[in-house]
Structure 1
Amino acid sequence: MTNEEIKALLALLQSTNVTLFELEQEGVRIKIQKSPLLPAGEVFRLPAARPSTGELLDQASAEQFSQSAPPTKTNTRTITAPIVGTFYRSPSPEAAPYVEVGSVVQKGQILCIIEAMKLMNEIESEFEGTVKAVLMENGQSVEYGMPLIEIEIGPET
């Protein structure tokens, strides 16, 4: 199943009241579970423990997650996870990380990899600037929309 097919499936499921969906196709099993919506005014916080790999944040929870994060400085931009998977800082266990805190990065430069269903997805920088923080640990499970890396950009003109 391709990333586009998964994205289409997620979009379809978001518009329904289905809270749990499982699919097995050609030896690949996908389980999607929506988090129940929180009452208005209640703040969504991630648990201190690592998230499980089988759960997805639905769109409302992802929005509440981004609203509960501390505000970032205007010159700091955050690269977020575009998919659910496992975060890796380097292309292999023996290789050096793509970036370190203090690394100067260019737009389009590879910052990390997210492995999803045995596919390695390279995550590229959307900005030019300096890496200020790597927010995930190597091998950590990530959910859609989770912050991965903070980049300080120069003054906007």
Structure 2
Amino acid sequence: MKAKEIQDLIDFIAKSGLNKVNIETEEFKISVKRDPDQKVKYVKDNSSSAPAQPHAPAPAAPAPQPGPTLVPAPAAPAAASEESRYITIKAPMIGTFYRSSSPEAPLFVNVGDEVKKGQVICIIEAMKLFNEIESEVSGKIVKVLVDNASPVEYDQPLFLVDPS
């Protein structure tokens, strides 16, 4: 694997929101983990056990965090207590989040829509398989926490639902 390919992989991981990627082939094994240290480990075959840094340095700037945060601004403690009454629907898998079945199709749910337990609310595409994600609760969609066609991680919050 060339240094340019490694840098492209690092850039892809930073943009996708993934925290860790492991790739292993017959020729090489690579493990990329995104954290404050921005460590990159590259070991060619099993003949060299010492990690070698790629020619291109890892990005020094912190990578963007996936999706909006659920933590309200420090000046809004009342908003925090209000959000605590909502139920968070989380991603059951990693993949790409889609709000509709195709670009031309209407969205499964919008803010303000009433949903029932078992109703399809989004799709997560993983490894070319499109998985319909169903609501775990009945209630009203208060907030969509992820942008359409963006990567999501396991257990990442997707929707806030008001069960009342």
TM range, normalised to the smaller chain? 0.5 to 0.7
Which ranges of structure 1 fall in alignment gaps of 5 or more residues? Answer: 1-18, 25-30, 39-45, 52-65
> 2:64 corresponds to which residue?
48
Alpha carbons of structure 1 residues 22 and 97: separation in structure 2 relative to 1, 3 Å: same
In the alignment, does 2:125 pair up with 1:115?
Answer: yes
Q: Which amino acid is the alignment partner of residue 97 of structure 2? A: F
Larger Rg over CA atoms: 2
> Residue 21 of structure 1: CA displacement?
3.5
- Deviation per residue, 1:22-70 (Å, 9 max, x gap): 357xxxxxx98666699xxxxxxx953558xxxxxxxxxxxxxx9x845
In the alignment, does 2:152 pair up with 1:151?
Answer: no
Alignment TM-score, normalising by the size of structure 2? 0.55
> Residue 20 of structure 1: CA displacement?
6.0
Alignment TM-score, normalising by the size of structure 1? 0.57
Which ranges of structure 2 fall in alignment gaps of 5 or more residues? Answer: 1-19, 38-61, 73-79
Q: Which amino acid is the alignment partner of residue 123 of structure 1? A: I
RMSD: 3.1
> 1:97 corresponds to which residue?
107
- State the number of aligned residues: 108
1: CA distance, partners of 2:31 / 2:133: 23
Moved over 6 A (4+): none
